[in-house]
Amino acid sequence: MAELFGSRIARLEDPALLRGVARYVDDISLPGMLHAAFVRSPFGHARIGSVDASAALALEGVHAVYAMDDIRPHLVNERLVVGLPSPSYRQNRDRPALADGEVVYVGEPVAVVVADSRYLAEDAAALVDVEYDPLPAVADCRAALEDGAPPVHLDAKHNLLAEFDMGFGDVAAAFARAPHVFRESIWIHRGGSHSIECRGGVAAYEAAEDLITYRVSTQMPHSALRTICEMLGRDENQLRVVAPEIGGGFGPKLVVYPEDVTLCIATMKLGRPVKWIEDRREHFVATTQERDQYWEVEIAVDGEAKILGIRGAMIHDHGAYTARGVNLAYNSGESLGLAYNVPAYALNIRLALTNKMPVTPVRGAGHPQATFTMERLMDRVGRELGIDRAEVRRRNLIPGADMPYEKPLKTRGGMGVLLDSGDYPACQQSVMDRLGWADFAARQDAARAEGRYIGIGLGNYVKGTGRGPFEAVTVRIGPSGRIHVYTGGVAIGQGTRTMLATLVADQLGGDMANITVTAGDTATISLGIGTSNSRLAVQAGSTAHAAAIKVREKALKVAAHMLEASEDDLEIVGSEIRVKGVTDMKVTLSQVANAVAGTPGYALPGGIEPGMEAEEHLVLDVMPYASGTAGAVVEVDAETGAVRILEYALGHDSGRIINPLIVDGQVLGGTAHGIGNALYEWMGYDADANPVTTNLAEYLLVGAAEMPNVQILHHESPSPLNPIGVKGVGECGVVPAPSAIISAIEDALTPFGVRLAGTPVTPAQIVAAIRAAPAGG
């Protein structure tokens, strides 16, 4: 039987999605369901006085308006406590269930209105009269840390949320003996996630069972269950959290939100299901983002451009509360220069509170920022020493022969950082060859002779994927003979069901159509971590593989007993287990499952344990590191500042590939997001912390017309860290894109001497940079 692993298999998910019959959270309608709208802060910072709901409640069809004082009696714990510990916190800023005496960012939920329809709920929300006493707000994360900055929270003495240092080696000595030291000031902006489906939830309380069922567009239902139960003081069997079809996640859907807790309380108080669906304008002020980092970094190199050391400081915009942890800034610090031999490294990281939406991971989670910073340094070294930029990189990249390569760093959970496999220089070379790096100067000269400015750029990255410790998977052959797979991971568009069905089918008969995958329902599996950090293929995939092998072994044992044959002579084909070469000696998967379902008073066949199933929680603590090189060729219009990407290639290594169709899709989608980060996406706030980009005409997502045809060059270095040799892929494309594109723009504008040190770069900024450059227009 041909192995399905590695085949370009069309996805199981697609038919329902293409017919429009898949059920996303907003497609769920329950009898008696009411609709919620939230009253949100219009101020970056204000004291809240009274909340007068009388006019809203007077509207016909309005059932309730709840502010913090109304839901407080239902809360054992009033704050959403996040799960990521760190010794570096200087203050605790967990989010309240609803604003409590103070609002600290525009969009912070103050009250919920529940009505017969969403239209009515919005009418009523506009009538809720909240007394605000505006306070000074701080929008810039650098300003937030200055002496005398207005406090983001009334009770705060300062705005430093956390501070820590990372590094290794003797940095002072490295810099003292270095013939060359170069300094860069870099700003990296990342925007929101902007999954095309916004957030939303439907909470339904059934008094007879004392059970809340909460269907929510989340990446982490088990974590949502724990947080909500803890806040409401409910047992874990009194809440079921279900992730229905999810219209994209990209990070922010991994945390639990004030709206989630409020909806669960509202359904209990009203005894009816309550639905809230975030609209896009809300998404800009109600869903977490990633935003700004400012880096001041120095690199020390020898005369041959070999890195001697890197040091510096970084300030990270944390937003007004801790919605996840110090993880983004930590990831950035951990991943700076990961692809290269760096003998000494020291970075001071400060996380600044600002009166803005809290931050959480957005696809890439801190890695694009560090990669951009490092790649800017590489370009700088090349320019200063007169050495080709690619050659500078090649001399410093960790060679394939040195793998596995241990970096003297720890992950946030204290695990070692082991670059497990890959040939980074070969990957870079493949991209250079594809884009004609060696001959590019001639092409560039010819273009310049025609008055056109073209440029080429590279970006190398290494990305930790598959974060542990585990993902739970159950594989079960039911009495019908159908194979059911359950996981705590969530399918958010990345083909999880197909991926798991492929791995299970390879062990259990090869018929993917006979497999149903249920992802993200806490009622079906007791443990689960969920979807983040490019983790499901590594964690859930490896575990599904292990569980399917256990079920296979058990099925063969039972079949051998039933057929009076040796297990070694049996094979599973489709829904049958048969004796190889003897077509009529067979039992079905259904018969095998029924044989171990148990009959009262009778022994199980072969003394085997009951049930044709296995639940596994493979513990995979050490992360596999995906890697690659992006290369871009751009043309810049020096008059308008418009950038067109002429060619784009991504050399990419995420270990063994389970399904090339899906891996290509992940890489391409990530690349589009990265191109958006490089050229278009900017979540703006004014000096008073008012958001100024609150619709998709002001905040630009990359469209089909702007996207180049991306050439993907696969490299497959199996990871030794898991049984199927895979690494994660979901975030990979996004990480190196801004590095390659900004480098290419700068290269195109070499005649002007333009220097770029941030993202995104807009046409107006390019025109301004050309005018300000030494040889500017």
Partner 1 sequence: MGETRKIALTVNGKRYAEEVEVRMHLGDFLRQQLGLTGTHLGCEHGVCGACTVLVDGVSARSCLMLAVQADGRELLTVEGIAPNEEELHPLQEAFRDNHGLQCGFCTPGMLTTLIEFLGDNPDPTEREVREAISGNLCRCTGYQGIVAAALDAAQRLKALKQA
Backbone angles phi, psi at 471, to 5 degrees: -135, 135
Nearer to partner 1, 724 or 734 (CB): 734
Residues of this chain that interact with partner 1 (CB under 8 A) are: 10-11, 13-15, 17-24, 26-27, 29, 61, 116-117, 119, 193-198, 245-248, 250, 279-281, 492-495, 661-662, 664-665, 668-673, 695-697, 701, 703-705, 707, 709-710, 733
Q: How many CB atoms lie within 10 A of CB 659?
A: 21
CA–CA distance, 552 with 429 (Å, rounded to integer)? 43
Beta bridge partners of 297: 184, 312
Nearer to partner 1, 606 or 660 (CB): 660
Cα–Cα distance list, 53 to 110, 134, 181, 335, 418 (Å): 12, 20, 62, 49, 57
Nearer to partner 1, 281 or 394 (CB): 281
Least distance between partner 1 and beta carbon 23 (Å): 7
| Residues whose CB falls within 8 Å of the CB of residue 405, separated by 6 or more in sequence, listed in order | 398, 418, 419
Nearer to partner 1, 296 or 635 (CB): 635
Nearer to partner 1, 555 or 663 (CB): 663
Contact 9, 665 (CB under 8 A): no
Nearer to partner 1, 618 or 662 (CB): 662
Least distance between partner 1 and beta carbon 283 (Å): 9
| H helix or E strand, kind and range, residue 664 | helix 660-679
Least distance between partner 1 and beta carbon 246 (Å): 6
Q: How many CB atoms lie within 10 A of CB 350?
A: 23
DSSP 303-323: TT--EEEEEEEEEEEEESSBS
Contact 45, 149 (CB under 8 A): no
Decide: helix, strand or coil at residue 339: coil
Q: What tokens were used for 545? A: 């593989």
Least distance between partner 1 and beta carbon 264 (Å): 23
Least distance between partner 1 and beta carbon 30 (Å): 13
Q: Which of 515, 507, 730 is nearest to 11 (CA)?
A: 515
Backbone angles phi, psi at 211, to 5 degrees: -125, 130
| Residues whose CB falls within 8 Å of the CB of residue 375, separated by 6 or more in sequence, listed in order | 458, 459, 460, 736, 739, 740, 743
Nearer to partner 1, 546 or 702 (CB): 702
Nearer to partner 1, 22 or 415 (CB): 22
Least distance between partner 1 and beta carbon 186 (Å): 26
Nearer to partner 1, 611 or 665 (CB): 665
Q: CA 278: distance to chain centroid? A: 20
Least distance between partner 1 and beta carbon 774 (Å): 37
Decide: helix, strand or coil at residue 392: helix
Least distance between partner 1 and beta carbon 486 (Å): 21
Least distance between partner 1 and beta carbon 183 (Å): 35
Nearer to partner 1, 625 or 699 (CB): 699
Decide: helix, strand or coil at residue 139: coil
Least distance between partner 1 and beta carbon 497 (Å): 12
CA–CA distance, 236 with 653 (Å, rounded to integer)? 40
Contact 617, 689 (CB under 8 A): no
Contact 203, 212 (CB under 8 A): yes
Least distance between partner 1 and beta carbon 397 (Å): 26
Q: How many residues does this entry show for the chain?
A: 777
Least distance between partner 1 and beta carbon 651 (Å): 16
Nearer to partner 1, 10 or 126 (CB): 10
Least distance between partner 1 and beta carbon 674 (Å): 10
Least distance between partner 1 and beta carbon 333 (Å): 28
Instruction: Give the ranges where 287-366 is alpha helix by DSSP (H).
Output: 327-335
Q: What tokens were used for 663? A: 């891996």
Least distance between partner 1 and beta carbon 60 (Å): 9
Decide: helix, strand or coil at residue 479: coil
Contact 95, 79 (CB under 8 A): yes
**Which residue spans within 502-580 are E strands per DSSP?**
515-519, 570-573, 576-579
Least distance between partner 1 and beta carbon 7 (Å): 13
Nearer to partner 1, 281 or 656 (CB): 281
Parallel, antiparallel, or unpaired for β 211-216 and 200-206?
Answer: antiparallel
359-376 burial, b for 16+ CB within 10 Å, e for fewer?
bbbbbbbbbbbbbbbbbb
Residue that the structure tokens 């030494």 belong to: 774
Parallel, antiparallel, or unpaired for β 473-477 and 613-616?
Answer: antiparallel
Least distance between partner 1 and beta carbon 282 (Å): 10
Nearer to partner 1, 35 or 95 (CB): 35
Nearer to partner 1, 19 or 157 (CB): 19
Cα–Cα distance list, 521 to 268, 497, 517, 518, 541 (Å): 21, 14, 11, 7, 18
Contact 745, 682 (CB under 8 A): no
Nearer to partner 1, 81 or 646 (CB): 646
Nearer to partner 1, 197 or 317 (CB): 197
Nearer to partner 1, 15 or 134 (CB): 15
Q: Which of 594, 488, 557 is nearest to 221 (CA)?
A: 488
Q: CA 64: distance to chain centroid? A: 35
- Amino acid at site 61: G
Q: How many CB atoms lie within 10 A of CB 777?
A: 9
CA–CA distance, 536 with 76 (Å, rounded to integer)? 33
